[in-house]
Chain A
Amino acid sequence: GAVVSQHPSWVICKSGTSVKIECRSLDFQATTMFWYRQFPKQSLMLMATSNEGSKATYEQGVEKDKFLINHASLTLSTLTVTSAHPEDSSFYICSALSDSGNTIYFGEGSWLTVV
């Protein structure tokens, strides 16, 4: 099946710094990607929809200035957590809409720990 790759798998950063997470569709073009956040033992919470060549659409309650999303190409979307704080520590997962438009594939996720 289609493959979506995230990098890094885990990252530790200091409070106040910014960290970037990449999401790539490896064998298909994805005009739409999605970013989720998952707290321990909880379900996935959609943060934003990333559309290639346009601004991301954020879900209610998600700070767009804190979670910067860029979808510069048909195979890459990035999530930048700016001025990270310990409460931003979480598991971040991206997904990509298949070029057929009817299946969504997920990346492996990225663990972010802010110390």
Chain B
Amino acid sequence: AQSVTQPDIHITVSEGASLELRCNYSYGATPYLFWYVQSPGQGLQLLLKYFSGDTLVQGIKGFEAEFKRSQSSFNLRKPSVHWSDAAEYFCAVGAIAAGNKLTFGGGTRVLVKP
């Protein structure tokens, strides 16, 4: 069975500082990996995804993520955080073999200090 772990429940970062959110997954084959962002009371917006190829993936809003097979990780990064980046971030893993069902991590809440 596939699983996703986001070790950090909360992260507080100053505006303009860099941000890295950790994600570790467990899956037997190469999974499809996703990062979503959720603002309070709203749905999820896709930031980026990885299926194959280049392990460094660029997404929207200046985010990028790097797939590291040896570490079973897919960490999300942003060089300079804006106040509007305050939200909940979810890492998810899916696979065709699993019927494309997504398994979500517990989420990381990002707070941005002025």
Contacts and interface: CB of A to CB of B under 8 A. Distances in A.
A6 B44 CA distance: 12
Interface stretch (A11-19, A65-73, A75-83, A100-108): A100-108
A6 B29 CA distance: 33
Interface stretch (B19-27, B63-71, B72-80, B97-105): B97-105
Interface in A24-59: 32, 34, 42-44, 46, 49, 57
* Category for how many chain A residues contact B: 20 to 34
Given A1-B46, A105-B46, A43 B107 contact: yes
B49 A103 contact: yes
A49 B46 contact: no
A105 B49 CA distance: 11
A106 B107 contact: no
B92 to A, nearest CB: 8
Contacts of A95: 44, 102
Interface in B81-114: 90, 94, 96, 99-107
Given A102-B32, A106-B36, A46 B102 contact: yes
Contacts of A104: 34, 46, 94, 100, 102
B14 interface: no
Contacts of B49: 102-103
Contacts of B41: 91, 109, 111
Contact of A101 (B46, B100, B105): B100
Nearest to A4: B43
B96 A44 contact: no
Interface of B: 32, 34, 36, 41-46, 49, 51, 90, 94, 96, 99-107
Interface of A: 1, 4, 6, 32, 34, 42-44, 46, 49, 57, 91, 93, 95, 97, 101-109, 111
A-B interface, 10 closest residue pairs, ranked by CB to CB distance from nearest: A106-B44, A108-B43, A109-B43, A43-B104, A106-B43, A44-B104, A43-B106, A43-B107, A107-B43, A97-B100
